[in-house]
A and B are shown apart, each in its own frame.
Chain A
């Protein structure tokens, strides 16, 4: 049995891990926004999505968060007319990744905000612990 403030710290740090993984996936998507296939008509980079799940920590009894799955976005690719591209098919169209910069930026901002929220929980819990320990010093 761990005290609740320590459990809050543990939960918040699992949130930090989860949000940083999410930021990693977003950066992969952004970096590969124009990664095409190698051969004519080949599929380009497929956008990755991340999903979270609650996970019960047996020791603390706290509900941590973990990365459930890094899946692939099954939506259609964009096509662009570019006959000179090595990945262009017989008609001259190149398949481009199904990454939308706008969506990725929004996702990044949300990951950033969630990370900050978890950091705030850690700061708060730490302050509470310090205040409680200070009771002994009085």
Chain B
């Protein structure tokens, strides 16, 4: 599930780099830096979500084994939930913007 999420998000991040090609070619060079910035940001969100989900899983297993306190398990799981919700919301927004672009009449 984690890899699926990060794959979808990172592929989305790569997909979004194609959007600046819609801008005039002369501005392409200037836009190159912000474009990678956006892809980087998306990749960061994805890897952050994956990392916090993974740590939540580790802590949960530790909790089942009795090595972690209930509070630590709850905190890690809530942290993962928050990151995942943020990632999903950002992805939804990005996908909506992408669809908006694809529906644009030429």
Supposing A17-B69, A20-B71, A137-B92 touch, asked if A130 and B85 sit within 8 A by C-beta, the answer is yes
Q: Which residues of B contact A13 (CB under 8 A)?
A: 71-72, 74-75
A126→B69 contact, CB < 8 A: no
A9→B89 contact, CB < 8 A: no
Chain B 36-78 residues near chain A, CB threshold 8 A: 69, 71-72, 74-75, 78
Among A9, A20, A137, contact of B75 (Cβ-Cβ < 8 Å)? A9
Interface residues on B, range: 10 to 19
A17→B82 contact, CB < 8 A: no
Q: Which residues of B contact A17 (CB under 8 A)?
A: 69, 71-72
A133 at the interface (CB under 8 A from B): yes
B78→A133 contact, CB < 8 A: no
B9 to chain A, nearest CB (A): 15
A137 and B75 CA atoms in complex are apart in Å by 25
Supposing A126-B78, A129-B82 touch, asked if A136 and B92 sit within 8 A by C-beta, the answer is yes
Among A16, A122, A136, contact of B93 (Cβ-Cβ < 8 Å)? A136
B90 at the interface (CB under 8 A from A): yes
Residue of B nearest to A129 (CB): B82
B86 at the interface (CB under 8 A from A): yes
Among B71, B72, B79, B89, contact of A133 (Cβ-Cβ < 8 Å)? B89
B interface footprint on A100-121 (CB within 8 Å = 1, 0 otherwise): 0000000000000000000000
Q: Which residues of B contact A130 (CB under 8 A)?
A: 85
A136→B90 contact, CB < 8 A: yes
A133→B69 contact, CB < 8 A: no
Interface set of A (CB-CB < 8 Å, partner B): 6, 9-10, 13, 16-17, 20, 122, 126, 129-130, 133-134, 136-137
CB-based closest 8 A-B pairs: A136-B89, A16-B71, A13-B75, A133-B89, A133-B85, A136-B93, A17-B71, A129-B82
